[in-house]
Amino acid sequence: MRSLVSLFAPPCSPSSYFHLKSSQISHLLPVYASKSDYIAPSSLRLRALQTSTSGENEGSRAGAIHVIIGPMFAGKTTALLRRMKEESCNGRDVTIVKSNQDDRYGLDCVVSHGGVKMACWALSNLSSFASKIGADAYGKLDVIGIDEAQFFEDLYEFCRDAADHHGKTVVVAGLDGDYLRRSFGSMLDIIPLADSVTKLSAHCRLCNKRAFFTLRKTKQTKTQIVGGADIYMPVCRKHYIDGQFIKNTTNLVLKTTPKDQQFCL
């Protein structure tokens, strides 16, 4: 059976990542957009006759759950799309789902920050997925990819049922923590269900070291604000702490300073 690391191992990549097993530390290289990276919707429905080479779902139709976590700009979506493309090339019937809260690139595609894209279903919840695509189509599916999975409240139940009872391989990508480094949605809840967990890292925007956290640059305090580099940036531990301190201090000063004097700040 091919290992998770080899499935994710790219031909090249500076975007570093590590598997939770320290012996499997490796590095990812960036994926650049090209016509060959795009998977047309029609091809997602092709169910080739060739046998799966991943070793999963053979015989017992037992499924699997693979989880990809990390901060923003770590390459989670790129890794998910790469895995889905490889599964499709191996003749497996694949499709991808994302939250309809994420409309940064429209609702009909999942698009990585590097520009790689793939047609998808944009849903408000995962429990509606089978009925949306139809029972026959769902029954034929081998692999389900879920992007921005932290937004789905029914993530645990869906993954459990899809893998345990329906024989699906589920590849889940999402943020493990929010901008305050708190557990985000149900992402961490599915780790006990998972066959593998991969935590990716980005590069700190301030010092270029490995970044494990997402710093929100704005004053907004709502947990879920969908945005890109205009709102968020990946940072190392030092710069996360420094950044939070600066934000908190600035907010405190603004709160205690009369508005007509704030122009001096």
Report 202-231 residues binding Zn ion (CB under 5 A). Answer: 204, 206-207
Of the two residues 74 and 116, which places its CB atom closer to Zn ion in the complex? 74
Contact, 151 vs 224, CB < 8 A? yes
- Token pair for 173: 């990508």
Closest CA to 71 of 236, 231, 265: 236
Query: Considering only 28-36, 132-140, 220-228, 237-245, which stretch makes contact with Zn ion by CB under 5 A?
Result: 237-245
CB 235, min distance to Zn ion, A: 5
236 near Zn ion (CB under 5 A): yes
**Does residue 171 contact residue 143 with C-beta atoms inside 8 Å?**
yes
Catalytic residue chosen out of the listed positions 58, 87, 148, 157 = 148
* Parallel, antiparallel or unpaired: strands 169-175 and 143-147: parallel
87 belongs to the catalytic site: no
Q: Of 116 and 204, which has the nearer Cβ to Zn ion?
A: 204
CB of 12 to Zn ion, least distance (A): 24
Residue closer to Zn ion, measured from CB, 14 or 134: 14
Work out the end-to-end distance of the chain between its first and last CA atoms, rounded to an integer number of angstroms: 61
CB nearer to Zn ion: give 141 or 204: 204
Give the three-state DSSP class for 168: coil
Residues 188-207 that bind Zn ion (CB under 5 A): 204, 206-207
- Name the one range near Zn ion by CB under 5 A: 60-68, 97-105, 191-199, 232-240: 232-240
Q: Of 1, 7, 2, 6, nearest to 171 (Cα)?
A: 7
Binding residues among 83-142 for Zn ion as defined by CB under 5 A: none
Tell me the closest approach of the beta carbon of residue 17 to Zn ion, in angstroms.
17
What is the closest distance, in whole angstroms, from the C-beta atom of residue 244 to Zn ion in the complex? 13
CA dihedral 157→161→162→164, nearest 10 degrees, is: 130
Smallest separation, CB 190 to Zn ion (Å): 29
Say how many residues touch Zn ion, by CB under 5 A.
5
Please identify which residue in 111, 239, 240, 243 interacts with Zn ion, judged by CB under 5 A. 239
In the bound state with Zn ion, the residue whose beta carbon lies nearer, of 17 and 152, is 17
Quick one: how far is CA 224 from the chain centroid?
A: 15
List, in order, residues 6 or more apart from 210 with CB less than 8 Å away: 16, 201, 202, 203, 204, 236
Whose Cβ is closer to Zn ion: residue 184's or residue 213's? 213
At closest approach, how far in Å is the CB of 209 from Zn ion? Answer: 5
| 172 to 1, 50, 109: CA distances (angstroms) | 20, 25, 16
Taking the C-alpha atoms of residue 218 and residue 231, their distance in angstroms, rounded to an integer, is 6
Q: Which residue has the tokens 């994420």?
A: 102
Binding site for Zn ion (CB under 5 A): 204, 206-207, 236, 239
Catalytic residues: 148
